[in-house]
């Protein structure tokens, strides 16, 4: 007799559970097989996945002029500076110079009240003329043997003293006109008309800005390279983008034992945009090469004791030691290790290792990976 599972007459109990297992077991086996097959396919795909390329920026090794130079900073100073002081006391009757005005040496800046000095000069002049007349008469009497030699000598000495007193009085009178000791620009004025001026009181400050100087304290290793006459390029913080030219005016060949430096004085033309007190950044070029093999300084790895760069060979990075020459701004001269046209990594080099697969920014990804992948026969 055929018994249906769904029949209401089918027997209940262990036989029913066994029949259910018979029907479900093939399905479970097929599901497990599918799952194992899917995991195997995923592992196979992961095994075939290509390594990721490191994105980098590169620059070509090229040729350009390069200069060997020394760079330093120092404030600009005026060639000459003078404090104008009053050499006598008196009231300022007139002040004839203002701040910013260009004056010449010997030009009158202030006139002081000179009435007292004029009277003293006139009094000493009168006494001097009186003694001159006495000395002339004594010489006539001496020819007639009517006066002794001692009397003549006394009158002569008195006359010389009177002449000295008169010169001193005239000198004091001249001090009433305060003059400029040097040529330059009035940088500061500390007097007004009507002020009473004490002797030796500073009333003006004059700056000779016709030439500006900057003093560099240079390490002694540069003593043989920096000489007078070398060109100097100057930039100041207050005028970014502008470059001024000057020269090394003189070199102090004595090395300071404490700091191990010597003084190099650079000179620049004044009277224009440059002013005393500006902070200058100077570069002294002491040698030049017209056709040097160079790379950007950003390509150098951070190891000064063993300079090296990453180059690109067949789509992979290669660490190449280099021998450096002169450094000029953002360029570094390469004496050996690279050839013109080689590609060096300038950005992204921190993520590289020797043999890393690279993707040059701006180049198609497929080409970079294909260049590094081995040939596969189809």
pLDDT range class, residue 16, cuts 50, 70, 90: very low
Which one, of 342, 286, 354, 262, lies nearest residue 61 by Cα? Answer: 342
- Give the range among 7-16, 161-170, 189-198, 313-322 with minimum mean pLDDT: 7-16
Which one, of 224, 241, 221, lies nearest residue 233 by Cα? Answer: 241
| Average confidence (pLDDT) over 340-347 | 90
Q: What percent of the chain has pLDDT over 90?
A: 38
Structure token digits, residue 114? 């000179």
**CATH for 54-67+290-372, among 2.40.420.20, 3.40.50.300, 3.40.50.920, 3.30.70.580?**
2.40.420.20
- Helix, strand, coil shares of the chain, percent, nearest 5, are 30, 40, 35
State the DSSP code for 137.
Answer: H
What's the pLDDT at 245? 93
Alpha-carbon gap, residue 252 to 263, rounded angstroms: 5
What's the pLDDT at 373? 38
| Average confidence (pLDDT) over 110-137 | 91
Give me the residue label for tokens 């008169």. Answer: 166
| Average confidence (pLDDT) over 188-198 | 92
Which one, of 94, 49, 62, 71, lies nearest residue 192 by Cα? Answer: 94
Q: Is the pLDDT of residue 195 over 60?
A: yes
**On the CB side of 20, how many CA atoms lie within 13 Å of its CA?**
7
What is the average pLDDT score of the chain?
Answer: 82
What's the pLDDT at 275? 87
What's the pLDDT at 18? 47
What's the pLDDT at 267? 94
How many Cβ atoms sit within 10 Å of the Cβ of residue 140? 10
| Average confidence (pLDDT) over 186-212 | 91
Q: Give the tens place of pLDDT for each residue, 174-187.
A: 999 999 999 999 99
**CATH for 114-175, among 1.10.287, 3.40.50, 1.20.120, 2.40.160?**
1.10.287
CATH T-level topology, domain 70-79+208-288: Elongation Factor Tu (Ef-tu); domain 3 (2.40.30)
Domain boundary assignment for the chain: 54-67+290-372, 70-79+208-288, 114-175
Q: Is the pLDDT of residue 352 over 90?
A: no
Q: Give the tens place of pLDDT for each residue, 280-323.
A: 999 998 888 888 899 998 888 887 678 899 998 888 888 989 99
Q: Is the pLDDT of residue 15 over 50?
A: no
What's the pLDDT at 2? 44
- Give the range among 94-103, 162-171, 301-310 with minimum mean pLDDT: 301-310
């Amino acid at each position: 007799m055929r018994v249906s599972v769904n029949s209401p007459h089918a027997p209940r109990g262990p036989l029913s559970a066994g029949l259910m297992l018979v029907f479900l077991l093939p399905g479970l086996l097929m599901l497990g097989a599918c799952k194992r097959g899917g995991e195997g396919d995923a592992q196979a795909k992961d095994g075939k996945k290509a390594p990721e390329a490191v994105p980098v920026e590169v620059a070509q090794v090229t040729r350009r002029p390069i200069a060997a130079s020394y760079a330093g900073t120092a404030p600009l100073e005026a060639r000459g500076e003078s404090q104008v002081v009053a050499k006598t006391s008196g009231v300022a009757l007139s002040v004839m110079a203002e701040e910013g005005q260009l004056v010449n040496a010997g030009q009158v800046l202030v006139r002081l009240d000179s009435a007292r000095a004029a009277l003293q000069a006139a009094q000493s002049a009168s006494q001097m003329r009186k003694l001159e007349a006495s000395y002339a008469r004594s010489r006539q009497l001496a020819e007639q043997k009517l006066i002794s030699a001692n009397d003549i000598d006394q009158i002569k000495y008195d006359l010389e003293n009177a002449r000295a007193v008169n010169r001193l009085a005239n000198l004091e009178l001249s001090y009433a006109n305060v003059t400029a000791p040097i040529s330059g620009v009035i940088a500061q004025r500390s007097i007004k008309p009507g002020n009473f001026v004490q002797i030796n009181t500073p009333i003006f400050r004059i700056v000779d800005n016709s030439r500006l100087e900057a003093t560099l304290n240079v390490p002694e290793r540069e003593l043989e390279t920096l000489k007078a006459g070398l060109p100097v390029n100057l930039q100041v913080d207050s005028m970014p983008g502008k470059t001024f030219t000057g020269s090394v005016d003189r070199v102090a060949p004595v090395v300071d034992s404490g700091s191990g430096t010597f003084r190099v004085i650079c000179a620049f033309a004044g009277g224009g945009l440059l002013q005393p007190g500006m902070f200058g950044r100077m570069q002294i070029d002491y040698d030049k090469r017209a056709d040097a093999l160079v790379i950007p300084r950003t390509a150098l790895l951070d190891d000064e004791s063993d300079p090296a760069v990453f180059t690109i060979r067949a789509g992979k990075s290669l660490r190449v030691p280099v021998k450096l020459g002169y450094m000029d701004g953002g360029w570094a001269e390469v004496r050996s290790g690279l050839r013109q046209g080689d590609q060096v990594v300038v950005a992204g080099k921190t993520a590289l290792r020797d043999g890393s697969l690279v993707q040059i920014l701006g180049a198609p990804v497929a080409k970079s990976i294909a260049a590094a992948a081995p040939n596969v026969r189809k």
